Amino acid sequence: MTRVDGRVERGNRTRQSVLRRAVDIASVEGLEALSVGRLAGELELSKSGVFALFGSKQELQLATVREASRIYVAEVLEPASKAVAGVARLRRLCEAWLDYSQRRVFPGGCFFYGVMAEFDAREGPVHDALVEAQRAWMSQLESCAEEGRAAGELSADTDSAQLAFELVALMETANAMSVLYDEVGPYDRARRGIASRLRPAATDPSSALHLP
């Protein structure tokens, strides 16, 4: 039994190291750049062993998206969940996202920003997994805005979906410009833009002046 458990543990460690390398590659070069042979070569593993972990290129891509989602939750959603529900959490989500992108948790910036452009016009399981991840993120922002509106922190006529859309547009533009130009300035512009967007919607404008 100990020997079997040891094999399982080694397999889990190998899978984790493969996926960590896979998300880094995909964030820069896209999911289509992934291959069993490349990952096996870079990590000095047997090609057959890596193939046995995933079985197909599509499953490798899906597993990579799932791993990126796990990291995203840990880096963005979990820290923000500690903030008070409503505007405070909405602002914290925005700051956590900008920080995640600026720190290059993935070397290509936001993992999902890059790979969504690669799969947005396609069909299939990978496209669907990316849609699900993006919808979950938008839903988080919309829910925080709705909670803020219900609590009287945002004006009663606030369109939560529109607000979430505009905040994401600011964050993703900052990510794209920072990666392209290798500059941090776009993040400061995004922070100012987010505050400017929240200020007129907030019943207490001072609450939107600064991100935590």
Of 112, 97, 92, the closest CA to residue 26 belongs to 112
Over residues 159-182, the mean pLDDT reads: 98
* pLDDT over 60 at 17, yes or no: yes
Predicted confidence at residue 10, as pLDDT, reads 78
Task: pLDDT band for 170, please (50, 70, 90 cuts).
Answer: very high
Over residues 48-62, the mean pLDDT reads: 94
Predicted confidence at residue 1, as pLDDT, reads 45
Give me the phi and psi of 161, to 5 degrees please: -65, -40
Of 47, 125, 109, 89, the closest CA to residue 198 belongs to 89
Q: Counting runs of H as helices and runs of E as strands, what totals does the chain give? A: 10, 0
Q: At what angle do helices 47-54 and 2-29 cross, to 10 degrees?
A: 90
pTM for this structure?
0.90
Over residues 183-188, the mean pLDDT reads: 97
Residue ranges of domains in the chain = 57-208
For residues 30 and 176, what is the distance between their CA atoms, to the nearest angstrom?
Answer: 15
Predicted confidence at residue 9, as pLDDT, reads 77
Over residues 29-48, the mean pLDDT reads: 95
Are the CB atoms for 68 and 111 separated by under 8 Å? yes
Over residues 78-104, the mean pLDDT reads: 96
Average pLDDT, the chain: 93
Query: CA 208, 210, 211, 212 torsion: positive or negative?
Result: negative
Predicted confidence at residue 205, as pLDDT, reads 74
| 197 exposure class (CB count in 10 Å sphere: 0-12, 13-18, 19+) | middle
* pLDDT over 50 at 47, yes or no: yes
Tens digit of each residue's pLDDT (9 = 90 or more) over 118-167: 999 999 999 999 999 999 999 999 999 999 999 999 999 999 999 999 99
Cα–Cα separations (whole angstroms), residue 144 to 52, 72, 84, 92, 93: 42, 18, 10, 10, 9
Please report the DSSP string for 115-174 in residue order: HHHHHTT--SHHHHHHHHHHHHHHHHHHHHHHHHHHTTSB-TT--HHHHHHHHHHHHHHH
* pLDDT over 90 at 194, yes or no: yes
Superfamily of 57-208 according to CATH: Tetracycline Repressor, domain 2 (1.10.357.10)
Task: State the virtual CA torsion across 169, 175, 179, 182 in degrees, nearest 10.
Answer: 110
Predicted confidence at residue 153, as pLDDT, reads 96
Tens digit of each residue's pLDDT (9 = 90 or more) over 57-79: 999 999 999 999 999 999 999 99
Q: Where are the alpha helices (DSSP H) in 55-109?
A: 57-72, 78-80, 87-102
> Which token pair is 4?
């079997």
* pLDDT over 90 at 208, yes or no: no
